[in-house]
Amino acid sequence: MRKEKIRMLIAHLLLAVLLGVVCLAPKAKALLKGPLPLIIGIAVIELLFIIMAMRSRKKTGTVGTGPTDIITFVWILMIIWEICTSVMDLAHPVLVPAPENVFYTFVDQWKVMLLNISYSLRLLIGGMALGLGAAVILGLVFGWNERLKAFSYPIANVMAPIPAIVISPYLVAIMPTFRSASLVVVILGVFWPQFLGIINRIASVEPEILDSARIMKLSQPVMLFRILLPYLVPGILNSLKVTMTTSVLMLNFAELMGATHGMGYYIQNSIVYANYTHAVAGIIVIGVVVTILGSIVGIIQRKFIKWH
């Protein structure tokens, strides 16, 4: 308990130092925006830390080192960032924007960012749903039928390790629209690993389950969707967070190539015009979106596979 209090004290002392540097230190960097958006951002980060700490204390009875180590690292990083840019102007004036300017972008560009986030999320959710749905249905059928398995397994074994982003330039060239090309990139990136994984999971089903099903002379649809599918659901949900993160990576990469909307496009367009302030803000937004999506996936996992 004493060590926990010391860690919390250090974290909040660093927070006080950061706020002091932001609000009181003389600024050497020209063209700085007002500090209010940055202070609001710091307050939001502190609120998230408090929520994490309360959840950790509720589960384990102690805050633990994880939340305090993370927030300590964040405050140290932001102090160094603020001092090297706004206060002492040691960093490159274009490549390393000041935190005040980066956080002001969220105020100035929020409508554009929301538009691009919604565009990316529609592609992401649609691609994941189609890719995962196809992988589950075809994986069940092909994994259960020995002839189809013998045909498809070697192909899936070759295709699964190949990232879909490798063929994304070709898809952009042959698909009728960029949006459809991005959708296919996400679908392929989700489909092949999940398809291969489902075939492997079916091969590892306990013989006792299969023997009992054969004794009962179950029909093929019942065997596939009443026996095998429930057996596969925990594994599918467990891999959902990795699938989602990989899909975001592939989508953002695809959006770098000729897109007109999306967070990947927003960052690429900002870099093309040397607006690194907007580019850094876009990177932060992607990190926040991925974190939120990961939390949603975690809630789904806890709700539907409580025994894991």
Segment 121-164, tens digit of pLDDT: 999 999 999 999 999 999 999 988 889 999 999 999 998 888 88
Q: Is 24 in the same domain as 171?
A: no
3-state secondary structure 23-72: HHCCCCCCCCCCCHHHHHHHHHHHHHHHHHHHHHHHHHCCCCHHHHHHHH
The pLDDT assigned to 168 comes to 79
Q: Which residues of the chain have pLDDT under 70?
A: 1, 30, 258, 306-308
Q: Which residue has the tokens 């989602």?
A: 244
The pLDDT assigned to 223 comes to 80
Q: Is 180 in the same domain as 297?
A: yes
Q: Select from 11, 10, 15, 8 the least CA-distant residue to 82.
A: 15
Q: Is 119 in the same domain as 62?
A: no
**Considering its fold, how many domains does the chain have in total?**
2
Can you give the residue range of the structural domain that contains 58? 2-107
Q: Of 88, 107, 126, which marks where a domain is finished?
A: 107
Neighbours of 279 (CB within 10 A): 22
The pLDDT assigned to 8 comes to 86
Neighbours of 80 (CB within 10 A): 11
Q: CATH number for the domain including 237? A: 1.10.3720.10
The pLDDT assigned to 258 comes to 66
Q: Of 107, 135, 168, which marks where a domain is finished?
A: 107
Q: Which long-range contacts (CB under 8 A, 24 or more apart) does 76-83 make?
A: 76/14, 78/18, 78/42, 79/14, 79/17, 79/18, 79/21, 82/18, 82/21, 82/22, 82/25, 83/21, 83/25
